[in-house]
Amino acid sequence: MPAPKPQIRFLLRGSALLGGLLTLWWFVLLGPMLYLLKGAGEVFMHIEETPNGGWTLRVPLEKTLPATPQHPFAQQIHSIDFDMPRSDTIAFTFSIPVYWAIVLAAPGVRRSLRPLLLGTALMSVVEVAMLLAFAGITARNAASQLGGGPGDAAGRWIRHVGEYLIASVLPYTVPFVVALSLHRDLRAAVFPWGQEAAPPTPRGSGGRAERRRAKP
């Protein structure tokens, strides 16, 4: 029976690692990762934990709300507060164990150490950036609702697309992009075409004779 192809071996290792690392993440690492995420997010906005484990976010936002029948005078706001349930905060730690599974599934554990450490740091920055982007989009949606009226249709569409990408696309695609960018052996295992080895250089007395004849 022929040995499985490198891509199949990678998928089998990755599937097993993904299940184990997600279990470790859920039962052991989730609490510390949420704590670190909250600490990083507090550099840019106020975050307060709610009794049910969610967060209350206060996002800085300078905006003038136009006058409405309920509020006859324009209002100046400086921040927007909203609650984020725990299920939403958990989503901003999910990509890191996925990245670990991808990198560790690559051949060569020692060669995976540097991409593992560097990629973990990069993925942490990406997670914080996605949290800030999600908070900004949610705050602007809330400000648009407070202002009433039809609002900016193009802006609403852009925010809707951004919210969809953050919640449903980037957590699953960014780990693969980062892993393939940092890990050379992983790229060779997943995309073997163009990786053929160069033909060996012939050795022996004939090669030396040819080099001597080539001299002026």
19-36 per-position pLDDT tens digit: 999 999 999 999 999 999
**pTM score of the predicted model:** 0.83
Share of the chain above pLDDT 70, in %: 82
* CB 103, CB 179: distance < 8 Å: yes
Q: What distance separates the 2 farthest-apart alpha carbons in the chain?
A: 97
Domain ranges of the chain: 6-195
**Taking residues 198-209, what's their average pLDDT?**
50
Beta strands in the chain (DSSP E): 46-49, 55-65, 75-84
According to DSSP, residue 95 is labeled: H
For residues 183 and 3, the model is more confident at 183
Smallest Cα–Cα separation from 166: which of 204, 120, 134?
A: 134
185-199 per-position pLDDT tens digit: 888 877 776 555 445
Paired tokens of 60: 């800085």
CA dist 182 and 178 (Å) reads 6
Given this model, what pLDDT does residue 151 score? Answer: 59
Residue 65 pairs in a beta bridge with 75
Residue whose structure tokens are 């569409």: 157
39-89 per-position pLDDT tens digit: 999 999 999 999 999 999 999 998 887 776 666 677 788 999 999 999 999
* CB 182, CB 115: distance < 8 Å: yes
CA angle, 145 then 129 then 137, to 5°: 10
